[in-house]
């Protein structure tokens, strides 16, 4: 998909205004909604005066197809937007609005751990955008907590898995792409460990293909988890609440960065 195609799919300002009085999802979307889905929308609408309507409807997708889409999209919009695009372009076709109005390409900024700062890997960030748009915020009740859990599980899985696990049907790079375990959801750490072990530089075609395959690996797992959630079978695996348990936000393996000298945060003042 190119930018023009997305532009074509955009609804006009007039359509938006006409649509404002209606439920902001298409007929297909309504048909696709389970009764549970309506319940979730009501939850999110609870805030008085808010025009926001989310979470958005979901229909189950094919993980392999999604991964291929993410792989190819990486070469257009990089990791974060590629993961979002792999799921939302399919939902644009299967459901329509509100996905057609979602500005997928604007998430291109997630590249390089957000604007090149090496913070959270864009694939993780993109997956969290998708899961929270579809399932909802953890503040909206027990059903929606899973949106947070799908995202948190992704960070945990990403950190502890030798990546990439996905091999595209038509790889843009024929060189073997080795796997590394980041022990962190951060772009800087993940890419750095891979560059160290593989010997390829940041600007190499191999490093780019590695990141495209990582995005695809994440997109694959994301859809597996969303499908399980849709079937009511998603079981969160990570229960990491660092704020509560150690008094500071952070990844679980403190010693990864602090060594044996892990500082103790000042605990909450009453």
Rg (CA), the chain: 19
Is residue 258 close enough to count as binding ligand HEC by CB under 6 A? yes
In 3D, which of 108, 65, 75, 68 has the Cα closest to residue 209? 75
Write out the binding residues for ligand HEC, residues 197-226 only, by CB under 6 A: none
What is the smallest separation between the CB atom of 78 and ligand HEC, expressed in angstroms?
Answer: 22
Write out the binding residues for ligand HEC, residues 145-204 only, by CB under 6 A: 184, 186
118: left (phi over 0), alpha (psi -120 to 50) or beta: left
**Interface with ligand HEC: number of residues (CB under 6 A):** 15
State which residue, 12 or 264, has the beta carbon closest to ligand HEC: 264
- Applying CB under 6 A, the span of 112-120, 128-136, 138-146, 240-248 interacting with ligand HEC comes to 240-248
Is residue 250 close enough to count as binding ligand HEC by CB under 6 A? yes
Between CA 47 and CA 270 the distance in angstroms is 29
Between CA 19 and CA 87 the distance in angstroms is 24
Using the rule CB under 6 A, which residue among 80, 248, 259, 269 binds ligand HEC? 248
Sign of the four-CA dihedral 30, 137, 112, 60: negative
What is the smallest separation between the CB atom of 266 and ligand HEC, expressed in angstroms?
Answer: 8
- 10 Å CB burial of residue 142 (0-12, 13-18, 19+) is exposed
What is the smallest separation between the CB atom of 192 and ligand HEC, expressed in angstroms?
Answer: 11
Is residue 243 close enough to count as binding ligand HEC by CB under 6 A? no
State which residue, 84 or 155, has the beta carbon closest to ligand HEC: 155
What is the smallest separation between the CB atom of 18 and ligand HEC, expressed in angstroms?
Answer: 49
30-to-22, 92, 98, 105, 178 alpha-carbon distances in Å? 12, 13, 11, 25, 44
Residues 6+ apart with CB under 8 A from 261: none
Residues forming contacts to ligand HEC in the complex (CB under 6 A) are: 184, 186, 242, 246, 248, 250-251, 253-254, 256-258, 262-263, 265
């Amino acid at each position: 998909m190119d930018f023009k195609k997305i532009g074509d799919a955009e609804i006009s300002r007039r359509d938006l205004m006409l649509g404002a009085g209606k439920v902001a999802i298409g007929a297909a979307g309504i048909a696709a909604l389970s009764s549970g889905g309506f319940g979730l929308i009501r939850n999110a609408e609870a805030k008085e005066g808010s025009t926001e309507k989310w979470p958005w409807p979901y229909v189950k997708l094919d993980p392999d197809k999604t991964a291929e889409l993410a792989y190819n999209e990486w070469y257009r919009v990089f990791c974060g937007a590629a993961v979002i695009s792999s799921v939302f372009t399919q939902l644009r076709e299967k459901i329509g609005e509100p996905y057609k109005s979602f500005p997928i390409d604007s998430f291109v900024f997630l590249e390089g751990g957000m604007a090149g700062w090496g913070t959270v890997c864009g694939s993780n960030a993109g997956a969290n955008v998708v899961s929270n748009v579809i399932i909802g915020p953890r503040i909206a009740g027990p059903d929606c907590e899973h949106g947070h859990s799908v995202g948190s599980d992704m960070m945990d899985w990403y950190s502890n898995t030798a990546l990439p696990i996905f091999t595209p049907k038509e790889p843009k790079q024929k060189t073997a792409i080795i796997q590394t375990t980041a022990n962190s959801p951060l772009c800087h750490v993940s890419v750095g460990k891979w560059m160290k072990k593989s010997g390829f530089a940041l600007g190499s075609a191999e490093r780019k293909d590695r990141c495209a395959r990582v995005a695809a690996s994440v997109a694959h797992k994301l859809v597996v988890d969303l499908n399980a959630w849709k079937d009511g079978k998603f079981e969160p695996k990570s229960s990491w609440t660092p704020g509560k348990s150690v008094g500071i936000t952070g990844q679980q393996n403190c010693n990864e960065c602090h060594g044996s000298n892990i500082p103790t945060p000042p605990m909450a003042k009453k």
